[in-house]
Every structure is written in structure tokens, then in C-alpha cells.
Structure 1
Amino acid sequence: MTNVREMPPSAAAPQDSGAGNGWVALVVLCVSLLIVTLDNTILNVALPTLVRELGATTTQLQWIVDAYALVFAGLMLVAGSSADRFGRRKVFSAGLAVFGAASAWAAYSGSVGMLIAARAGMGVGAAMMMPATLSIITDVFRDPGERRRAIGVWAGTSGLGIAIGPVAGGLLLEHFWWGSVFWVNIPFALAGLACARLLVPESRTPSALRPDPAGAVLSVLGLGLLLWAIIEAPVRGWSSGIVLGAGGAGLAVLVCFALWERATTHPMLNLAFFRERRFSFATSSVALAMFGLFGALFVLTQYLQFSLGYSALATGVRILPVAGLLALVAPLSPVLMRAAGTKVVVGTGLLVVAGGLWQLSRADVSSAYGDVLAGMLLLGLGAGLVVPASLDSLMGTLPPGDTGVGSASNGVSVQLGGALGVAVIGSLLTTRYQDRIGPPLAPYRLPHDLSDSVLGSLGGALELAQRVGGTSGPLLAALARSAFVSGMGLGLTVGAAVAACGAALAFAALPSRPAARSSASGDPTDPVED
């Protein structure tokens, strides 16, 4: 592996395209990145609206969120290697174009199925954009200190997108139709395309390995089958043959993916990177933090609107402390890491995430917003500590020629962790919700469509309760809210346990400081400065 301080011709330096300095390019990259992170929290606020407008069930909501994350995670590695080989700015610009076009498709989707497909298209564009932005940053900023500050800004931008997303989504839904939460991406995409050519330098690694489409197909197929099994289990039964078969097949395909990546001469993911503990445990820590954050946001936006009765805008304002604290803390995490070490910052951050999830899981039907605020603040604080520190640790192990694949590995950790969080926490919620609301309704023998609506989501049950009215309506609404909050508690408790296990792993195995020794491929690398 190439020494970080000695740039060979094969790891070509950025080509001058009339661009200004690196900080100007950073602004363009970060503004474009904003739409990728903005999209997650804007959509979360809109989920209850999709229940009302499109009749989406909780399972379908999980697919609307996870279709994006699945394609994003599955293609990001091959997109990262393609950016290294064919040009980072070129791939970044193509991703912007795809993301903008798919956003327009999502905005005018007329059904849940079409919206899920459009979200998958947005995942393709995001997969091309995300690794390219970070690899361009690490290529432009060669000084370790400047690179660390630039990555802090990049991470802060991600936090800013998460922060403004709920409020922006609430404002849009207050005045426009639900598709506006996707339409808002288009002006950013157009502006990014115009500025990238003028202000972002092109760079590539001519010696980079060719793309690995077989690996991409295996990763998407394996992850897709595994997520399908988790998401569909509450509907079809956790012990049903089709669920167990899909889950087992997904795991088998992922094993085949790992074997293929070891055997092929041009892997999209160099498994040798994972021999470096700073790389392997950093990616694991990010995934576990995002498991809790994405899973919590998925249920909290529904809890605030359906259970506590807030509007979309009021929900966005009340989600703001989570994202706002994340955005404030993220730039400080590298500073704390220099003082206390990676192990302490990442381990402590995961413990804080676990504490936040545990506090949120204690909510019941009599809880008010003030009762869950502390947990939301802890969630934002912990995620703000974990993500930048883990990212700095991960990128510090890689040479310039592999920055695209390395940064893509970080993005995969974020999206895969988030997708699993939504799938697992959402499925546990649905299972408990159906177990609590199904038996009391069984004697009434509701028509099949009404039964599916009530069992499918809290929103469907509340809509029926409003139509029924009288004394039965409020009783149904109370039963549904109680079942939902119970399921939310179960899901978030599991999320807290996962984050706590991640903290123990970080404290036990994540190196506190980088060592000046051989990297994953066996050649010396320059250590990241403390």
C-alpha cells in the first residue's frame, strides 16, 4: 500500500480545471451532499402523511425508507472504485443528475410501489455522489490537519442536513403536497451540476482496479433478501418458510459475496482492509450508531404525530434537538479525539446513544414530549461523537489511491446500519403492535380490508376510529396507541442493547491511537497525527 506522504504518479493529483482553492471546492461538495442527508429526515417527517395519502402500511413505510438505503449501500463500493478509476468529479456529477431525476419521479409517484422504485433510483444517485465527495476531499487536502478539519466540516454538513430536514419537511407539508419533500432536491442538484464543473478539481487513479459488477449484484441481492425477511416477518410470521428461506438465502449470498471478493483480481471491497483494526472497528461503530439513530427516527416521527397529535411542522421542530445537537457536536468530535483518543470518544458516544434509546423506550401512552426530550438529546449527542471520530480513524488507514473505496466503505456502514435499524426496530414494533391489537379485535370479525388497515399501521387504526366515532372509536384509538407505544418500547430497547454492545466492542478492540506500522496491504502508511 502506498505511503501517504509519497504520492506516486498512479495516484494522480487533482487536475487543475480552473478551480479555486480546496475550501471553495469543499463548499460545493458539502452543499451537494446536503440533499443526500436532508432526504432522510425530510422523508421521516412525511411518513405519517404517506399513511394517510397513499394508505401505506408500516411494512411499506419500511420499504420506502430501506429501498433507498439498500441500493445506496449495495452500489456505493462499486461507485467508489469507479470514481477512483474514471474520475471523481465525473462520477459525482453523474450521481447528482441521477439523484435529481429520481427525486422528480418520487415526487409524482402515484402509488406506494412506484414510490419505492423511485426511492431505489435515488439510492443509485446517492451511491455515486457520497463516496466521490469524501474521496475528493481527502485527495485535495493532503495535510493531515487540514484534512481532519475538512472532514469535520463534511461531517457537520451531514449533521446540518439531518438538522434542517425535519423542519423543512414540516414547512413543505404545511403548504404543499407530500411530493414537495422530494421536489426540493432538484434545485440543489442543478446548482451542484453547474458549480462542480467550474469549482471542483478532477482527480483519478489510473492504476485503480476495474469495477466489480458481480460483487455489486451479490451485495445488493444478499442484503435485499436479508432485509426482506426482517421487514416481512411480522406480516408473514417469523417462523414461516418463506421468511426463513429468504433470510437464509440472503446470508448465503453474502457469504458468496465475501468469497468472490477474496477470489477476484478486482474486488470492489478489499477485504484486507479489515485486518487493520482502526478500519474494521471504525466501520462497525458507525453502523451500530446509525442502527439506533435511523431506527429511532423511523418510530419517533410516527409517535409524535399519531400518538402525541403534533402536525408535520410541529413534529419537525420537536425532532430538531436530535439533529441540531448532532450537527453541533460533530465538528468537535475530532478535537476530542486528539485529546482523549479514538477509543474513548467512539466508545463513549455509543454508550450515550444506548442511554438515549433506553430513555426513549420508557415512554408510555401518558408520556408527553418533555418525557422523551432527554433521550432525543442523548441520541444526537452520541451520534455526533461517533461518526466523525470513526470516519477519521477509517480514512487515516488508507492511501490516496483507495480513498474512493475507503470513503464508500464508511457510507456503506452508515446506510447498512440505518437500513438494519429501520428493518429490525420497525419489525419488532409491528410484531408487538399486531400482537397487542389483534386479539381484542378478533371477536368483531372486521372486513378483510379494514382488518388489514388496522393491523397494518397505527395511522390506519386511527383513521378507522375516527370514522366509527361514538364510544367505540375512542376505545379503538386508545388501544391502537397503546399497542404502538408498546412496540416502540420493544424496538428501542433492542436498539439500546445493540448500541451498548457496540460500545463494549469499541472499548475492548478499537485502537486509541494510530500506529506507524504496516497497513492492510502490507506496505507502510503514514499515521494520522494525534
Structure 2
Amino acid sequence: MMTLTEELDLAQAHGRRVGWRGWTALAVLMLPVLLVSVDNTVLSFALPEIALQLQPTSAQQLWIIDAYPLVLAGLLVTMGTLGDRFGRRRMLLIGATGFATVSALAAFAPSAELLIAGRALMGVFGAMLMPSTLSLLRSIFTDRDQRRLAIAVWASMFSAGSALGPIVGGLLLEHFAWGSVFLLAVPVLVPLLIFAPLLVPESRDPKPGRIDPISIVLSMATMVPIVYAIKELAVHGPTPIIGVLFAAGVAFGVVFVRRQLRVANPMLDMRLFQRGSFSGALAVNLLSIMALVGFLYFVAQHLQLIIGLSPLQAGLALVPGLAAMIVAGLVVVPISKRLSPRVVIPGALVFSFAGYIIIALSTDPNAVGVLAAAFVSLGIGIGMAETVSNELILSSAPPAKAGAASAVSETAYEVGAVLGTSVLGGLLTALYRSNLQLPAGMPADAATAARETLAGAMAAADRLEPATGEALRSAAAHAFDTGVGATSLIGSGLVIVAAVIAATTLGRTR
């Protein structure tokens, strides 16, 4: 009986389909994907309790969410290249060990600053995990039909993790402290460390990109100031320092690109971006995730802080939409074999556009059914678009460059997550502040807390005398819902842009 490595070598040589060993390896590779998606959703639902316990400022509250994807996005290309050179499975195992360790430490962070630092360090190890999973799929499933289904499972696992996150997280948050959500990494990653060496074959690029310290620094110097500037613009409005940060990020980006074009064996092959199917699919990926994360950012707070649901109840309210996302990601596989992606993706994103419009036009923002229906519609479109765009990204790159292509795909995903929270979340914060009308006679400390975040306003209302507290709750809810309406229109615009990009860049290839 052939080993998995021999079976894959034969598949690579003859383009043959892999058997049950390949699908078993896929199941193992889904563990870190499941963890990352659970972690993102759980954190959104744990944020109200974190805000009450650690009392972060509004900027720190955004950084608690964004520190991880910001660092991860800056290091993904580097880690993808390291995986191509030293072995993708090896990078996966190192990342899993570090991620589990740091997650356990972050669970007991005593301050917002230390939690942010822990999230940043998790980003370092997370950057080793995600490119490895997707690039290993590319080396395992050489038959495109099998690979398309494997990537649909990979994308659906993100959705499955999002579905499990609110439920598991809700159960934990109702019985334990918020730190328990970070401890989830340990039981998920320990089986990976046991079974991956047995079931997942090692793979690497025979001619990997060179380890270029200058390019590594340049990639970080490009990502960090641009995303930080976006965050500051969203929270504090335009200032001179924001322009400096943008200019610095763009300048470093230009130097990075020129260096990759000049060296003989670059860390990132920039010729990939000349392919419309690659660049267009990346843009769709980024904008879709931006719209999804922005929606989850405000709906999690609305369900818990305004409607008054427990974390578990709030998670259950979103399960239909997350289930729809999973089903849509699998259903689109046979459809994408018969129709061009320039037709499939825009058609799918019509559902996402409708989801945001339902929120923007709702006359009863406190109706849980309206929010659930909107998320079902949004999830259908995102599930289909993510499956097709990820498959296009991988199939557009040579198999030997799977690590770099996967890293770029994950970079788009994580940047979209950062922008979803920073732009849509920051815009929502700004609109909340501008529309908040505080009741007269409030103590100065309560007024300051109320202006910072919605959680701060609700916590302050509990400490005030009943009439003033109720007036503050009503004012905060009205200000937040006003911001949600405007933010929803921006989200629908992002979906339209993604659909237009797909229709004009992806070509007619099925």
C-alpha cells in the first residue's frame, strides 16, 4: 500500500486524483482553520465583557481586535516564503505550538495593554498557520475538481468556526471569565501536533524565494503604517500624522515592489499580480471579508448591549446566517464548474448587498428576526464568493509557489478583517459619538465613559439613578443605531465594488 507521500508524488506526476489519505489529511489541516475562525468570532462576542473588565479606551478596544490580524497580515508573505523554503508542514507545527502557548497566556491578561501585546504575538504564530494550510491543500489535491471541493471545505470551515464560535463562546462566557475564549486554542491544536506528522506530507518549493531580511522589513513597513493610519482616521478624524503614515506606507510599498522586480529570485513573485484572475480574486476576497467582519462588529454589540441578549443567545441568533454561509460555499462548487466566475461571484454578492440593505432600511432595529434574516442573506453571498475567489487564487499560481500565493490570499483576508473593524467599526464609533445626546446632570466620569464606547455607556447607566440611567440607555441605543444605518450603506457599497471587480477582471474561464 502506498504511503500518502507516494500517492501525492504520483498525483503530481500524472495529475491523478488522491484517495482517502488525502481527505484524511484535509481533516487534520482544518483544525487550525477552525481555530482561527472561532477565535475571531468569539472575540467579537467577548468584547463587551472585556470592555467592562479591562476598561479599554475606544482606540484600545479596536486594537484588541486588530492587533492580531495587523501583525499577521504583515508577516504572511514572509512566513509563506519560509514555508516554501523550509517546509510547509514544519511551519504549521511551529505556528501551532506558539499559537497555543500565547493564547493560554493571553487568557489571563490583567490589562488591555497586555492583551493587545498577546494578540500581536498570536499574530506572529498565526502567520505560520494559515498559508501552510492552504498551500498544503494545493500540493495534496492536484486534480482541480478535487481541489475545488477541498477549498470549498476549507472556506466552509471558516464559516463553521464562526458558527461554533458564538455557541461555544456563549457557553463559556456565561459560566467563566472572558479569558476562557482564548483557552480554546489548546484542545484544538494539540490533536494537530499529534496527527499532522503522521498524516500530512511535507512539501516545499524546489526553487524557493530567497530569505531577504530587507524585503521582510519593507513588507512590515508597508502594512503597519497604512493600517494604523486607517484606524486613526476612523477614530479621530483627519490629522497631519495620518497623511504622514499613509505616505510612508505607500513609499515603503513602492520600494518593496521594485526590489521584488529587480532580484533574480524574489521573496514574492510580482508577476502573479499581472493575471487578472489572481488580482481580481484577491480584491473580491478582501472586500467580502471587510463587509462580513464589519457586520459582525456591530451586530454582536447590538444583540448584547441594546437588545439585551446573553452571549449564547446572541450567538444562536446568528447561527442561521453562518449555516447559510457554509451551505452556500459547498453548493457553489458544481455551479462554478458550469458558469464563469465573472457571473457566479456578482450573482452571489447580490445576496450580500440585500443583507446590508435590510439593515439600512429596517424600521425596527431591535427585531432579532430582522438581524438574523439580514445575516442569512449576507452569508449566502460571502460563502459563495470566498470559495470561488480562493480557488482562483491558488489555481492561478504555479504549484511550486503555493506558499506565496496562499500567503497573499491570507493577507487579503486579514487586511479585509482589519479594514472591516477599522473602517466600518471606526466609522460607527465616530457616528455614535456625534449622535450621542447625553442626559443633563450626568457625572463627568460617567459622561466620559459613555462617549468612549457603547459598552461604557451601558455600564455607566447601571450606576446612575434609574431615570437618568434609562435616559442614557435610550440615547446611547439611538446613537448607535443611527451609526449602524449609515455604516450598512457603506457596507453595501463595498459589496457592489467587489461585484464590479469580479465582473470586469475574472474573465470567462470556468
Same fold? TM cut 0.5: yes
Q: Is the 8 A contact 2:438 2:475 kept in 1?
A: no
Q: Would the alpha carbon gap of residues 35 and 103 (structure 1) be closer, same or farther in structure 2, given more than 3 Å must change?
A: same
Q: Percent identity?
A: 35
- Helix, strand or coil: the match of 2:131? helix
Greater mean deviation of Cα atoms: 311-320 or 238-247: 238-247
Aligned to 1:5: none
Q: Is the 8 A contact 2:51 2:455 kept in 1?
A: yes
Q: Is 2:145 the partner of 1:149?
A: no
Q: Would the alpha carbon gap of residues 476 and 96 (structure 1) be closer, same or farther in structure 2, given more than 3 Å must change?
A: same
How does 1:153-192 map onto structure 2 within 5 Å?
Answer: 153-192=153-192
Greater mean deviation of Cα atoms: 487-496 or 385-394: 487-496
* TM-score, reference length from structure 1: 0.89
Aligned to 2:474: 478
Q: Would the alpha carbon gap of residues 486 and 188 (structure 1) be closer, same or farther in structure 2, given more than 3 Å must change?
A: same
- Helix, strand or coil: the match of 1:230? helix
Q: Is 2:332 the partner of 1:336?
A: no
Q: Is the 8 A contact 1:173 1:180 kept in 2?
A: yes
Aligned to 2:260: 261
Deviations 1:386-418 (A, max 9, x none): 001011111111221101111111111111111
Q: Is the 8 A contact 2:80 2:406 kept in 1?
A: yes
Q: Give 1:75 deviation, angstroms.
A: 0.9
Greater mean deviation of Cα atoms: 259-268 or 367-376: 259-268
Q: Would the alpha carbon gap of residues 232 and 22 (structure 1) be closer, same or farther in structure 2, given more than 3 Å must change?
A: same
Aligned to 1:87: 87
Q: Would the alpha carbon gap of residues 332 and 235 (structure 1) be closer, same or farther in structure 2, given more than 3 Å must change?
A: closer
- Helix, strand or coil: the match of 2:309? coil
Q: Would the alpha carbon gap of residues 430 and 171 (structure 1) be closer, same or farther in structure 2, given more than 3 Å must change?
A: same
Q: 1:459 aligns with which of 452, 455, 460?
A: 455
Q: Give 1:256 deviation, angstroms.
A: 3.0
**Per residue, is there more helix in 1 or in 2?**
2
Q: Give the paired residue count.
A: 496
Deviations 1:446-505 (A, max 9, x none): 53x434311110111111111112321111111111111111222221111111111112
CA distance in 2, matches of 1:123, 1:226: 17
Aligned to 1:405: 404
Q: Give 1:366 deviation, angstroms.
A: 5.0
CA distance in 2, matches of 1:78, 1:253: 16
Aligned to 2:35: 35
Q: Is the 8 A contact 1:261 1:269 kept in 2?
A: yes
Aligned to 2:25: 25
Aligned to 2:16: none
- Helix, strand or coil: the match of 1:268? coil
* TM-score, reference length from structure 2: 0.92
Aligned to 2:311: 312
How does 1:64-83 map onto structure 2 within 5 Å?
Answer: 64-83=64-83
Aligned to 1:285: 284
Residue identity matched to 1:476:
L
Aligned to 1:346: 345
- Which stretches in structure 1 are left out of the alignment for 5+ residues? 1-8, 14-18, 514-529
Deviations 1:79-132 (A, max 9, x none): 111111111110110110111111112111111111111111111122111111
Deviations 1:244-290 (A, max 9, x none): 33333333333333333333444332211011111010111011100
CA distance in 2, matches of 1:118, 1:140: 33
CA distance in 2, matches of 1:171, 1:367: 23
CA distance in 2, matches of 1:363, 1:106: 39
Q: Is the 8 A contact 2:74 2:224 kept in 1?
A: no
Aligned to 2:105: 105
Q: Would the alpha carbon gap of residues 121 and 471 (structure 1) be closer, same or farther in structure 2, given more than 3 Å must change?
A: same
Aligned to 2:422: 423
CA distance in 2, matches of 1:504, 1:404: 28
- Which stretches in structure 2 are left out of the alignment for 5+ residues? 1-8, 14-18
How does 1:377-392 map onto structure 2 within 5 Å?
Answer: 377-392=376-391
How does 1:353-372 map onto structure 2 within 5 Å?
Answer: 353-363=352-362, 366-372=365-371
- Helix, strand or coil: the match of 1:461? helix
Q: Give 1:442 deviation, angstroms.
A: 9.4
CA distance in 2, matches of 1:386, 1:410: 13
RMSD: 2.1
Q: Would the alpha carbon gap of residues 241 and 42 (structure 1) be closer, same or farther in structure 2, given more than 3 Å must change?
A: same
Aligned to 1:516: none
Q: Would the alpha carbon gap of residues 20 and 412 (structure 1) be closer, same or farther in structure 2, given more than 3 Å must change?
A: same
Greater mean deviation of Cα atoms: 119-128 or 349-358: 349-358
